[in-house]
Each structure stands twice: as structure tokens, then as C-alpha cells.
Amino acid sequence: MELCQYPCQDRIRRFTLEAIQIPIVYNRYGDYDPDGLLYVLEQDSQRIQKEALRRFRQTPPQPYEEVQPLVLRVNLGDVVKVRFRNRLNRRLSIHVQGLAYDVMTSDGTSTGFNQDSTTCCETEYTWYADTEGVFRRPGDFPDDDAGG
């Protein structure tokens, strides 16, 4: 479908995310990070924590397929509003790659003279999907992209 025919341009997409700390098991041999940090949709938080901990208690600990990088899908032209809730005992934030944002309010970093946009409680970020594409953290490449 051509973009000019897409029915829902320029809409506001809202997401509520939560930071959780759980042991992250990497493989079926039980290798794990005891202090893993994961960002999840708030509606999935309890389910993911419960099942990840259940599998961690197995001998050897087993991975849970829903413990994976968070992906938010939006359409070109959307305004993305992310309410980020942090109930952990440290300041956290989100820094988006590939979307436009106001560096003073929605960057997710504490750099230079910019206002600290990390949080120990809750904050809201506003991002603008003004570029089409797939964006990843720097250095986060699937196997088929490695080396090229």
C-alpha cells in the first residue's frame, strides 16, 4: 500500500513501559546475568517476571523467549508518546535511535547542559516518526547483518 493511501497517518501512539530487573538466562546450559535489566510493556510486566523467574529456578536455569529486546512498531508520521515507569532503586531512561525528539525533554540522557531526563519514578517521552526504517541500538545487529 502506498504511504499516501495509508489510512492512519499523523496519529498519536501511546505506550507505557516499565523497567524490570530479573535474571536473564542466555542459553539452555544455564548461563545467566543475575542482575538483568529489561524494558517491557507495562501490561506484560508481571507475566514476564513470573515466567522468567520460574524458568530461572529450574536446574539448569532455562531461558524464556519473551526476555528479549523491546520493539515498538509505529507508522511514518506518528507521534510516539512513551510513559516510562521506573520502580527500581536507580535512575533510568530511554534513548531512542532514528526518530526525531526534543533533546531537552525526550533524549533520555544526562549530557552537557541538557536537562537530566533520567528518572527514578516516571516520565513521558515524545518522539516523532519522521523517517521510515528499522532502527537498532548501536552495535545490535542480527546474525544476517553481522560483518557487513
Per residue in 41-95, pLDDT tens? 999 999 999 999 999 999 999 999 999 999 899 999 999 999 999 999 988 998 8
- Region 7-25: what's the mean pLDDT? 88
In a domain, 34, yes or no: yes
pLDDT of residue 1: 46
pLDDT of 145 above 50: no
In total, how many domains does the chain have?
1
In a domain, 42, yes or no: yes
In a domain, 147, yes or no: no
The pTM for the full model equals 0.78
pLDDT of 40 above 60: yes
97 — pLDDT class (breaks 50, 70, 90):
confident
For 17, 21, 38, 101, the CA distances from 60, given in Å and listed in that order, are 30, 20, 21, 44
In a domain, 95, yes or no: yes
- Dihedrals φ, ψ of 57, to 5°? -80, -5
> What domain range is 54 assigned to?
3-135
- Dihedrals φ, ψ of 44, to 5°? -100, -5
